[in-house]
Structure 1
Amino acid sequence: MKSSMKMGLSALALLAAGAAGAAELGDTSKPIKLAINEWTGQHVTTHVAGEMLKAAGYDVEYVTAGMMNQFQAIADGDIHATLEIWSSNVSDQYAVLKGEGMLEELSDLGLNAREGIAYPSHVEELCPGLPAWEALRNCAVNFATAETIPMGRLVDYPADWGTPGSDRMVGLGLPFKAVPAGSEGALIAELRASTEKKSPLLITFWQPHWAMSAYDVKFVDLPPGEDACFTDASWGPNPNAVNDCDFAPSRIFKAAWPGLKEQSPAAHEILVNYTLAVEDQQPMMGAVDVDGQKVEDVVAAWMGANEDKWKPVVAAATQ
């Protein structure tokens, strides 16, 4: 009798535990809808998150949405989350909806987003002292072309992206002439040619980007990009100019429909705690953009090889 009672109590305990787990998942009959924006890195980021949600027991639906106009759809619950918002490129509508409580900002993604003055790693042999920015004073002539001599050449962003590289050469008083690239493709072509020929190259670039890994690109160490640098000439190494510093830091973060936490508690917890490192994202971007592989296949391979990076997040939210 006592044995059967114990068995009965054990069964009840298991049922209760199962019910508690199911309650934390919420309504799994409703798919979690994730926004797909316009760039490959975001596709990678979102599909990794989607696979984590699937591993937890959810169905996932990917919804194509423009970066700048996705936020109302999230506020309305038509999309449940967007996973790669850049602080340098976010609409005013986001702040309004967030302030009204119609969007929930989840957490930072963890990508080390950065813009800066950069070079392929072999250039350190042609300009001793790099990555320290002061080294560029003494080796600028090594970067000179017929177009820029006696100054060095900096390949800047395309003209319609602004002149951030030029601004820093002027601000820091470096003897470089900035020449705008024609396009993102032209920037990549410069990196490819420099790497193949082991020729000098100074370029304005950013990460995450697959080319950072493909061409072993490094950033020049500039003074920190603090707010005062852009408004107060007396700040920084050049007392007579602004912009004598690095780019302002960017955040990359995630946001969700406020109802997600109640509808799908474990999904909400997974997305809050989900992070992705540049070192993981960039090679996946390259596999898609350079090698022509499908995002789904690239992400599946990464998930299989990196269970230690994502399974604990899923387990913590579902066990």
Structure 2
Amino acid sequence: MKKLISTLSAAVIALVSFTGVSNAADSKKPIVIPTHNWSSQVVMAYVIGGIFESMGNNVKYVPADSQAVYESIRIGDVTISHEVWESAFGKSFTTALEKGGILDWGDHEARTLEDMGYPNWVAEKGLCPGLPDWTALKNPDCAKNFVTPDSGGKGRMLEGPQSWHGDLIPQRVEALGLGDLWTVKFAGGADALWAELAAAEKEGRGTIIFNWTPNFTDGAGFTFIDFPPYTAGCRPEDGGDGKCGSPDGYLKKAVNADFPKTHPAAAAAFKKMSFSTSHIGAMASLVDIDKLSHEDAAKKWLADNESVWKPFTK
């Protein structure tokens, strides 16, 4: 009888243990990670996916619109977002958050700035004396150094894809009274911005482009223009006159509300993940400077930075 009781007790303990492990284990359902159209975001997608895979999770990558992705997360088609830039995507994120189904999963250490600026050699060559003060752009002798074949005789500013910010920069140019000297064109993607940097330097002409930090250009030398300070409500979409620059903002993470339930270990690790400006710049640099594929860049970054990411998994 004692032997039977002992055997039954062992079976019960084993069953409880197995049940406990089952309840704590992550789902085999893939964690869906979105990829957008700038290097750091795509490399970080594969970095985070690699971390999840090292924990035994399945991962799926899907191209996604950088504004619509928060609704996709909210309804469960996408699992996470790892680069929520306040200036560009904060409104879309907040709208989804207010509807429910998506969770604010904390910020990265890095702070962000997204605005128009110039490579440091523009100032070194004296192409627009007075920069980074935006009022230097009022000088016709400055604007003429930024003319391109498609700019109609005006200085050209090259914005990112129009899907990122809509008409924010053209509205600012007009609001600040710069429209007679400057025109804004839109790039097809981030690669076009970096191609413009290289072309302008080769041709010896000035260039003003949309850029952001953290990015690989942090190390290469890039200066943002000092536009009038951002204040809440200053942008046209918020009822303002548009005479303001961009805010220093968060770089946030977001998850589908069910993620902590279906993938508790991965969700806990993702909540701990916090990358610095130098981490993110290095990820982008592996693609934009070293010319690795996004996947290979992520593998190299993970191999070289185990001391950074392994603590997230514990």
Task: State TM-score, norm by structure 2.
Answer: 0.69
Match of 1:130 in 2: 131
The counterpart of 1:227, out of the listed 224, 232, 241, is 232
Whole-Å Cα distance in 1 between the matches of residues 200 and 174 of structure 2? Answer: 24
Cα 1:213–1:168 change in 2 (3 A) is same
Name 1:195's counterpart in structure 2: 201
Equivalent residue of 2:81, what SS?
A: strand
Q: Give, in angstroms, the shift of residue 121 of structure 1.
A: 0.3
The correspondence of residues 128-167 of structure 1 with structure 2, limited to 5 A, is 128-137=129-138, 140-144=140-144, 153-157=155-159, 162-167=166-171
> Are the counterparts in 2 of residues 132 and 220 from structure 1 also a CA contact under 8 Å?
yes
- Could you tell me which residue of structure 1 aligns to residue 175 of structure 2? 171
Q: 1:23 to 1:134 in 2, by over 3 A?
A: farther
- How far 1:141 moved relative to its partner? 0.7
CA positional deviation for 1:274:
1.1
Q: Give CA-to-partner distance per residue, 1:207-250, whole Å, 9 cap, x none.
A: 2586735863220122221134336xxx9xxxxxx333203555
How large is the RMSD of aligned CA atoms in angstroms? 4.0
Say if 2:145 and 2:206, in contact at 8 Å, map to a contact too: no
The one-letter code sitting in structure 1 at the alignment partner of 2:234 is C
User: Which residue does the alignment assign to 1:279?
Assistant: 278
The alpha carbon displacement at 1:259 in A equals 2.9
- Which amino acid in structure 2 is aligned with residue 196 of structure 1? K
Measured in 1, the distance between the counterparts of 2:307 and 2:198 equals: 34
Count of residue correspondences: 281
Q: Deviations over 1:238-269 (max 9, x none)?
A: xxxx3332035554422223233234333222
Cα deviation 1:62-121 (Å, max 9, x = unaligned): 2315235555664565643232334534796x6566445422221224554433221110
Q: 1:118 to 1:24 in 2, by over 3 A?
A: farther
Give the partner amino acid of 1:157.
Answer: E
Which stretch shows the higher mean deviation, 181-190 or 263-272?
Answer: 181-190
The 1:65/1:120 distance shift into structure 2, 3 A limit, reads closer
* Letter matched to residue 63 of structure 1: Y
One-letter amino acid of the structure 2 residue matched with residue 200 of structure 1: G
Secondary structure at 2:56 match in 1: coil
Q: TM-score, normalised by structure 1?
A: 0.69
Determine the C-alpha separation between the residues in 1 that align with 2:136 and 2:23. Answer: 56
**How far apart in 1 are the matches of 2:33 and 2:90?**
15
**Residues 55-70 of structure 1 mapped to structure 2, 5 A cutoff:** 55=54, 57-67=55-65, 70=69
Question: Counterpart of 2:132 in structure 1: which amino acid?
Answer: P
- Relative to 1, partners in 2 of residues 1:221 and 1:307: Cα closer, same or farther, differing over 3 Å? farther
The code of the aligned residue for 2:278 comes to E
For residues 17-166 of structure 1, the aligned pairs below 5 Å read: 26-28=24-26, 30=28, 33-39=31-37, 40-55=39-54, 57-67=55-65, 70=69, 74-75=73-74, 79-87=78-86, 88-89=88-89, 98-99=97-98, 101-125=100-124, 126=126, 127-137=128-138, 140-144=140-144, 153-157=155-159, 162-166=166-170
Equivalent position SS for 1:181: strand
SS of 2:234's partner is helix
Q: Distance in 2 between matches of 1:77 and 1:271?
A: 17
Contact 2:143–2:181 under 8 Å retained in 1: no
Unpaired runs of at least 5, structure 2: 1-16
| SS of residue paired to 2:253 | strand
Matched-pair contact (CA < 8 Å) for 2:156–2:182: yes
Percent identity, aligned pairs only, is 23
Superposed CA offset, 1:110-163 (max 9, x none): 55443322111012221444323344456x5144159699x9724243795655
